[in-house]
């Protein structure tokens, strides 16, 4: 479980960090986001006040997060599969661009050689 914490409340932000320090990571590398407000995100969003009621302790938070993760697994595995397929297409595109660039470079070198050999 890798989480990114984005809370408007500095006290809540710090508390979440203290409770979840071993699981905290950057937005780019997180599995889901913990926040005290709703916002648009491609990643699952655990909302304090909706997914867990205040006040809560560390144990209750961890239980709620585990339940949230279990509920998100199906969605996440589908997204991972879609991402893998997308990566395959990107890799193919990269290879096609690489081939075209190499061909263009070779044609350009041949053109320059032919020009100066005359």
For residue 5, give the DSSP letter.
E
CB 45 within 8 A of CB 32: yes
Does the structure show a pLDDT above 60 at 78? no
**For the ranges 23-32, 38-47, 64-73, 78-87, which has the lowest average pLDDT?**
78-87
Q: What is the domain extent for residue 112? A: 3-117
Residue (of 64, 58, 78, 77) closest to 17 by Cα position: 58
Mean of all residue pLDDT scores within the chain? 82
DSSP H helical ranges for 1-118? 10-20, 58-117
Class of residue 35 by CB neighbours under 10 A (exposed 0-12, middle 13-18, buried 19+): buried
The more confident residue out of 85 and 69 is 69
The more confident residue out of 87 and 55 is 55
The end-to-end CA distance of the chain, in Å, is 67
The more confident residue out of 38 and 97 is 38
pTM of the model: 0.59
* Total number of domains constituting the chain: 1
């Amino acid at each position: 479980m890798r989480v990114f914490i984005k809370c408007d409340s500095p006290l809540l932000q710090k508390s979440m960090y203290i409770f979840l320090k071993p699981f905290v990571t950057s937005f780019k590398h997180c599995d889901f986001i913990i926040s005290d407000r709703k916002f648009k995100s491609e990643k699952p969003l655990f909302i304090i006040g909706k997914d867990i009621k205040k006040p809560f302790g560390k144990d209750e938070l961890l239980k709620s997060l585990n339940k949230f993760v279990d509920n998100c697994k199906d969605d996440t595995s589908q997204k991972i599969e879609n991402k893998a397929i997308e990566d395959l297409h990107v890799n193919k595109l990269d290879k096609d661009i690489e081939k075209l660039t190499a061909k263009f470079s070779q044609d350009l070198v041949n053109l320059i050689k032919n020009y100066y050999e005359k």
